[in-house]
Amino acid sequence: MADPTTVFFATNRKPDPTKPGRYGAEIVDPTDPGKVLYAVIPVTGVDLSKEASGQLGAIIELSEGDFADSVRAELTTTGRNLLVFIHGFDNSFEDAIKRAAFNREWFAASGMADADTTVLAFTWPSAGETFASLPDLPQDAYLDDQAMAGQSDVHIAAFLHNVLALVARVRASGKRAFLLTHSMGNRALASAIPVFFAAAGANVPATFNEAILAAGDEVHTTLQTANTAMYGLREIADRISAYCSLRDIAMDLSMAVNKNIRLGYSGPADRANTLTYPTAKFRIIDCTEVFDYFGLIPPDATHQYYRRSRTVRADIVKAMAGQPVASGVSSLSALPFGL
């Protein structure tokens, strides 16, 4: 395990010296992509047995609008594959950076070289308070996060433009690049995709080898037609792997608030339709029967299977390595934890 773990990141959070990591839950000018901050931060003490582990070091190489030239050069010469991560709801700045570091180490711990990646995170202004009000329904905090994810559209679109330029160089060097979005990170991405294409048109510099949509807190029709928000993801990813679970408690709460079926609950709408979701482009993986992790504590444990279950990790890692994986609709299963 690397110590420290280097996290390259971008954020559209306003600086707040009173908060851990010195960034809060307010957004910079939502109309100005140049206000997004790009930087590097080391995270020490990441322990895969403790999901909240890690201590943030000092932020370095801070710049507006894009990474500094030296950082861009470093990102494309690490000799590793690239993992781009957009976190979900209920993540403070500190949470988001620690989670990015954890994810890097979690996949690297699989022992497969292709999963030993350089991690690049985008952290949008989630307050990190959604589950703080349990057992009361945390609807207000959830809706605040959802609004922030939607208002990040211009910023994440600009981030995608910058990142895909890096992806072009990474792939030209013979390495692979992955986009991982968890939970409400899928809402943030969905809001950005139409903005990205409005600016880029047909000028897409590169594609991710794989877009991994984990427990997507976005309406289940979002990938379905050219008029739906995430449809354009098909143009910037060679393949899309969407992971879902009927046991995901956070998705139950989300469906109660949004009054629609969520992508992370049962997968895309009409998921068995291979005309809508060609098997060469889509993998839809049901994780309902995966029990190889403790699912009761913390409250969102069943929402975190992508970084708790070794069974799910093994499937993601095979996709990262370009190894054969089940195409179309499939299911994963595992015996209860400890058996």
Tokens at residue 286, please?
A: 């049901």
Longest dimension (CA), the chain: 52
Burial of 189 (0-12, 13-18, 19+ CB in 10 A): buried
For residue 284, give Cα distances in angstroms to 58, 64, 71, 115.
Answer: 39, 37, 35, 20
> What distance in Å separates the CA atoms of residue 211 and residue 319, rounded to the nearest whole number?
10
Q: E-assigned strands of 88-192? A: 118-123, 177-182
Domain extent listing, the chain? 5-334
Burial code (b: 16+ CB inside 10 Å, e: under 16) for 224-234 equals beeebbbbbbb
Q: Which is more confident, 300 or 44?
A: 44
Count of beta carbons in the 10 Å neighbourhood of residue 338? 8
Across residues 217-234, what is the average pLDDT? Answer: 97
Give residue 339's pLDDT: 55
> What distance in Å separates the CA atoms of residue 149 and residue 193, rounded to the nearest whole number?
13
Give residue 248's pLDDT: 97
pLDDT band with cut points at 50, 70 and 90 for residue 338: low
* Mean per-residue pLDDT over the chain, rounded: 95
Give residue 68's pLDDT: 98
Encode pLDDT of 102-153 as tens digits. 999 999 999 999 999 999 999 999 998 766 555 455 788 899 999 999 999 9
Across residues 85-105, what is the average pLDDT? Answer: 97
**Do residues 271 and 283 touch, judged by C-beta distance below 8 A?**
no
Give residue 131's pLDDT: 60
Is the pLDDT at 197 greater than 60, yes or no? Answer: yes
Question: For the structural domain made of 5-334, what CATH number should be given?
Answer: 3.40.50.1820
Least confident span in 15-24, 46-55, 101-110, 129-138 = 129-138
> What distance in Å separates the CA atoms of residue 212 and residue 86, rounded to the nearest whole number?
11
| The model's pTM | 0.96
Nearest Cα residue to 161 out of 209, 197, 125: 197
DSSP conformation letters of 212-268: EEES--SBTTTTSSTTSTTTTHHHHBS-EEEEE-TT-HHHHHHHHHH-S-BHHHH-S
Helices (H) and strands (E) in the chain, counts: 9, 13
Radius of gyration of the chain (CA): 18
Cβ neighbors of 75 (< 8 A, separation 6 or more) are 8, 67, 82, 118, 120, 166, 170
For residue 141, give Cα distances in angstroms to 90, 109, 159, 251.
Answer: 8, 34, 25, 15
Encode pLDDT of 296-319 as tens digits. 888 889 999 999 999 999 999 999
